[in-house]
Structure 1
Amino acid sequence: MASYAPVATDMDPVDPMSSSTGSVRGRRRGRGKSDIGHTGQASWISCVINLANTILGAGLLAMPSALSKMGIFLGIFVIAWAGLTSAFGLYLQTRCARYVDRGHVSFSALSQLTYPNLSVLFDSAIAIKCFGVAVSYLIIIGDLMPGVVEGFAPDVEIGFLVDRQFWITAFMLIIIPLSFLRRLDSLKYTSIIALCSIAYLVILVFAHWVIGDIPAAERGPVRVFQWSGPISALAAFPVIVFAYTCHQNMFTILNEIKDNSHFRTTTVIAGSIGSGCVLYILTGITGYLTYGDNIKGNIVSMYPTSFFSTIGRLAIVVLVMFSYPLQIHPCRASLDACLRWRPRSASRQADSSPSRSALLNSPRPAKIPEMGDLRFAIISTTLVVLTFMTAMTVTSLEKVLAYVGSTGSTTISFILPGLFYYKISDPDSAHHQRLIKDEDDQDDFSRDDAEGPDAYESRTWRRKMLRTLSLGLVIYGVCVMITCLAINIFASAHN
């Protein structure tokens, strides 16, 4: 049975002699679910770094172009709204994690509790999406490195140094060892380097705007409140929404974080999403003001060739290189879950379903077994080889990724977190009642009297409201998916 124990933090020390109200709130904020035999090792800052690195990618450099379609005012609103909805999806994941033993939460584990016969579809969507993004990172390396070489040595005559396949192969020597690390926390140092690359790119964009070294003839008009039209604005909408996709690594972070209290996990979300939102707005505004409506695509590619712009292109390469393992990690877990999946017939499900009283008093659901070393090595090798071969033979995945992102990213970010929480938090659900029973056994709700007579009703109302909002997130995700698919179909028909 899960246990809840007070955990002292620097910001909220536990004082057993403090007032009842203050101590109850302190204990709640410090309480995290523990599991015998499992101890998280990742620090708070390590989790924020890895999650922020998953969020921040090459899409940062497309924000100025997105603002040129929407106008500054609407663009800032959409960036903030996209961050808020993505943060809510992450928050629902932390709430869902309470229904699974510490260290064993995953999309597959929650699927087994909610929609067992659909779990293979959920994991397939995650695996395909992460695989496609990983391949796109290798393609970016192959496309940018020849230009980096020419920027540093314009008179180079060595043919293989400007060959995209050579650079993809060369960078795989760095990527492969990182892709075989089991723990996401092990990638915190490479994530720091990647975030330093992000910082350089943001400074580069900001500096060009402050210096104003772009000729006036290359600048277009700037829209503050006007947009370029509904079609153009909708075309830029997916760029902003999908820029926050990091939900595939959230469960791993919840498994590995040392202090998994509600306060700590919520601040991890706030820190990573908040920093991403600030950088997106800063880069979007300064980049757009630099070129106005003449801006197109990646802003760094528009800067005149110079030492600093060449370093910027190299920074993009470093960024995607160290972001590649962050896509392989969830892809491997989802692929493993797909390989383990077996269809569950209705009769088998009915026979194997325990009664409500038995479920309430039984241990938590069986844990999904951890990958053995051989299985881990085989799946990892397969993913690395397939992404490498795809990147070597395909020069553009733009159209494929547009459809994969429209379906996979919306599924991971909005639909699954909302569906899982709405299903598992049903007041009539035995899993939900067992969680309440666990909390009652730990004398959680009995302390509500210390906070006032209406505390229990308030908590019940918040649960109902959160469940309603989770359903709203599902509906929002479906609307985003339909909108993005329609945009992709329209764009393909007019190209």
Structure 2
Amino acid sequence: MAGPSYSAISTDNTDDMVVNVAIPAEAVGEGLAHHRRRRSSLGKFSFKGEASWTSSVVNLLNTIVGAGVLAMPAAMSAFGMFPGILVIAFSAFCSGFGLYLQSRCAKYIERGTASFFSLSQITYPNAAVIFDAAIAIKCFGVGVSYLIIIGDLMPQVVEGFVGDVGNMMFLVDRKFWITAFMLVVIPLSFLRRLDSLKYTSFVALVSIGYLVVLVVAHYIIGDTMWNRGEVRYFSWEGPIPALRAFPIIVFAYTCHQNMFSILNEISDNSHASTTSVVSGSIGTACSIYILVAITGYLSFGSTVTGNVIMMYATSFFTTVGRAAIVVLVMFSYPLQCHPCRASIDNVLKWRPSRASFRFPPPKVTAQPVMSDLRFAIITSCVIVASYFVAMTVTSLERVLGFVGSTGSTSISFILPGVFYYKISDPNSAHPVLKEGEGEDCPWDLDTAKKRVLRKASVVLVGYGCVVMAVCLGFLTFFAE
């Protein structure tokens, strides 16, 4: 499918258009006047997004809600029910605030070109490669975990539906199912636009809906009460179990790697629209997590395990539920491949910069997408590498714990806070940061609100650093 389109309308009668404007460090102080001259020479730049509000929410929600929803009852067991609700809601707020800061940062750069990389170019150019490497590693690790889940669950799904497989032992071989599902994953991973995945994301959300109904229904029926453990409403299990459960809740909201793609593709990128996308997706995910956590925990009490659906007695409905998890992670894999590919491309294109600030080259006459050959090579490398890792490794919990503690924390809290604090400095002389147009420009907030928002971004960075240190320390010294 073709990528997003640009159009340029010349402001004079000449046939030539300046498409590269170099701004030396000594010229930055000219500020607003210089920026206006640049706009005059470039002509009017416009970008048209095509994604609807609904598809944006669906894709972002599907990026958030994954198989981690099944671990929420166990996480609540560690904290106790009411403290667990507060932790789930607080984690949703922090992740939502990170997404909000990303939407504000996107207003400072050309429409349709927002990414962690492009923000790095006008804030911390020489650190861009670190940021994108963290995103690529995180997304690659999550994608591998999805393939491992498929390999682990499909044999159980087959046994649940078929029973004895007889001589067809390949049907209970995890490697066979990983290979088979790659035939579905590969074409989806080669789609250029995130909006193209809106239908598969909808199917994945239907699977999540089924799992939620299954957990709630078993609680209402009460068929697990005979073996239920202790239920703690206000007291926790202890500091070590709580530290083990905390990363599960925090990382369950990680979707920030796809937020800029959402902002680039959405047709209405006004402040109200993008904020409602954030609140709608985060709010829905938080409601799902709390509902599953409460009903799952009240069903099994302290005996609940990390995958609540595996605790129910084998039946047609639970087997369908396990199959629904497979469908969920199968359609979630492309949502991890999309930002992983973009970040790898940015890492390969990165070159050291001597300037403190650097103008992103104006993208007027060309689409901001990589070439077909480059796109195919990077995508193929990601798919092949994740396939071989999933085929050879059966457990990635500890590795993904470190990846999640570093990559997920960085892109969820640290990077949004750092970028916003730097790019929203009202004393900056950088032309892009000084001029705003229209009611939806970055400077539409009054001075007091901007000051509060910048301070809050620093708090979010501090919170991310604490989460990273706590999670890494726990994985190093206290993990099982």
TM-score range, shorter chain: 0.7 to 0.9
Which residue of the partner structure matches residue 133 of structure 1? Answer: 142
Which residue of the partner structure matches residue 220 of structure 2? Answer: 210
Equivalent residue for 1:464, pick from 435, 451, 458 = 451
Is the CA contact 2:426–2:434 (under 8 Å) kept in the aligned structure 1?
no
C-alpha distance in structure 2 between counterparts of 1:37 and 1:464, whole Å: 30
Tell me whether 367-376 or 124-133 shows the greater mean CA deviation. 367-376
Cα distance change of structure 1 residues 105 and 396 upon mapping to structure 2, 3 Å threshold: same
- Provide, for residues 57-111 of structure 1, a one-character-per-residue CA deviation record: whole Å limited to 9, x for no partner: 0000000000110001100000000000000000000000011100001000001
Is the CA contact 2:56–2:277 (under 8 Å) kept in the aligned structure 1?
yes
Tell me whether 206-215 or 133-142 shows the greater mean CA deviation. 206-215
- Is 1:59 matched up with 2:62? no
Equivalent residue for 1:192, pick from 199, 202, 216 = 202
Is the CA contact 2:417–2:458 (under 8 Å) kept in the aligned structure 1?
yes
Cα distance change of structure 1 residues 436 and 294 upon mapping to structure 2, 3 Å threshold: same
**Local SS of the residue matching 1:176:** helix
C-alpha distance in structure 2 between counterparts of 1:260 and 1:436, whole Å: 20
Deviation, 1:397, is: 0.7
C-alpha distance in structure 2 between counterparts of 1:444 and 1:388, whole Å: 44
C-alpha distance in structure 2 between counterparts of 1:260 and 1:365, whole Å: 22
C-alpha distance in structure 2 between counterparts of 1:151 and 1:490, whole Å: 39
- Provide, for residues 104-150 of structure 1, a one-character-per-residue CA deviation record: whole Å limited to 9, x for no partner: 01000001111111110100000000000000000000000000000
Is the CA contact 2:51–2:267 (under 8 Å) kept in the aligned structure 1?
yes
Q: Which has the larger share of helix? A: 1
Is the CA contact 1:168–1:392 (under 8 Å) kept in the aligned structure 2?
yes
The 5 A counterparts of 1:443-458 are none
- Is 1:183 matched up with 2:189? no
C-alpha distance in structure 1 between counterparts of 2:241 and 2:170, whole Å: 40
Which residue of the partner structure matches residue 437 of structure 1? Answer: 435
Deviation, 1:215, is: 4.8
Deviation, 1:369, is: 4.7
- Provide, for residues 260-284 of structure 1, a one-character-per-residue CA deviation record: whole Å limited to 9, x for no partner: 0000000000110000000000000
C-alpha distance in structure 2 between counterparts of 1:342 and 1:375, whole Å: 18
Residue type at the aligned position of 2:184: I
Cα distance change of structure 1 residues 443 and 178 upon mapping to structure 2, 3 Å threshold: closer
The 5 A counterparts of 1:263-274 are 263-274=272-283
TM-score (norm 2): 0.87
The 5 A counterparts of 1:19-418 are 36-157=45-166, 158-216=168-226, 218-344=227-353, 348-349=354-355, 365-367=361-363, 369-418=368-417
C-alpha distance in structure 1 between counterparts of 2:202 and 2:209, whole Å: 10
C-alpha distance in structure 1 between counterparts of 2:361 and 2:397, whole Å: 41
Residue type at the aligned position of 1:473: L
Is the CA contact 1:138–1:388 (under 8 Å) kept in the aligned structure 2?
yes
- Provide, for residues 141-161 of structure 1, a one-character-per-residue CA deviation record: whole Å limited to 9, x for no partner: 000000000001112111110
**Local SS of the residue matching 1:349:** coil
Tell me whether 262-271 or 224-233 shows the greater mean CA deviation. 224-233
C-alpha distance in structure 1 between counterparts of 2:360 and 2:334, whole Å: 32
- Provide, for residues 182-214 of structure 1, a one-character-per-residue CA deviation record: whole Å limited to 9, x for no partner: 000000000000000000000000000000012
Is the CA contact 2:229–2:303 (under 8 Å) kept in the aligned structure 1?
yes
Deviation, 1:437, is: 2.5
Deviation, 1:365, is: 4.9
Is the CA contact 1:100–1:365 (under 8 Å) kept in the aligned structure 2?
no
Residue type at the aligned position of 1:186: S
- Is 1:482 matched up with 2:480? no
Is the CA contact 2:405–2:468 (under 8 Å) kept in the aligned structure 1?
yes
Deviation, 1:36, is: 3.1
Deviation, 1:221, is: 1.1
Deviation, 1:436, is: 4.3
**Local SS of the residue matching 2:306:** coil
C-alpha distance in structure 2 between counterparts of 1:476 and 1:277, whole Å: 19
**Local SS of the residue matching 1:405:** helix
- Provide, for residues 419-457 of structure 1, a one-character-per-residue CA deviation record: whole Å limited to 9, x for no partner: 0000111112134x6444233xx5889xx9xxxxxxx9x
Is the CA contact 1:97–1:105 (under 8 Å) kept in the aligned structure 2?
yes
Deviation, 1:42, is: 0.2
Deviation, 1:366, is: 3.9
Residue type at the aligned position of 1:269: V
Which residue of the partner structure matches residue 23 of structure 2? Answer: none
- Provide, for residues 295-320 of structure 1, a one-character-per-residue CA deviation record: whole Å limited to 9, x for no partner: 11100011111111100100000000
Say what the alpha-carbon RMSD is for the aligned residues.
Answer: 2.1
Cα distance change of structure 1 residues 223 and 444 upon mapping to structure 2, 3 Å threshold: closer
Q: Among the aligned pairs, what percent are the same residue?
A: 63
Residue type at the aligned position of 1:489: T
C-alpha distance in structure 1 between counterparts of 2:349 and 2:397, whole Å: 31
**Local SS of the residue matching 1:36:** strand
C-alpha distance in structure 1 between counterparts of 2:360 and 2:320, whole Å: 52
Cα distance change of structure 1 residues 224 and 375 upon mapping to structure 2, 3 Å threshold: same
C-alpha distance in structure 1 between counterparts of 2:285 and 2:321, whole Å: 19
C-alpha distance in structure 2 between counterparts of 1:219 and 1:464, whole Å: 51
Cα distance change of structure 1 residues 286 and 479 upon mapping to structure 2, 3 Å threshold: same
- Provide, for residues 214-256 of structure 1, a one-character-per-residue CA deviation record: whole Å limited to 9, x for no partner: 251x210101011111221121111101100000000000000
Q: How many residues align?
A: 435
C-alpha distance in structure 2 between counterparts of 1:202 and 1:482, whole Å: 33
Is the CA contact 1:120–1:338 (under 8 Å) kept in the aligned structure 2?
yes
Residue type at the aligned position of 2:210: Y
Is the CA contact 1:79–1:240 (under 8 Å) kept in the aligned structure 2?
yes
Which residue of the partner structure matches residue 31 of structure 2? Answer: none
Deviation, 1:414, is: 0.2
The unaligned stretches of length 5 or more in structure 1 are 4-34, 355-362, 449-455
C-alpha distance in structure 2 between counterparts of 1:412 and 1:349, whole Å: 24
TM-score (norm 1): 0.85
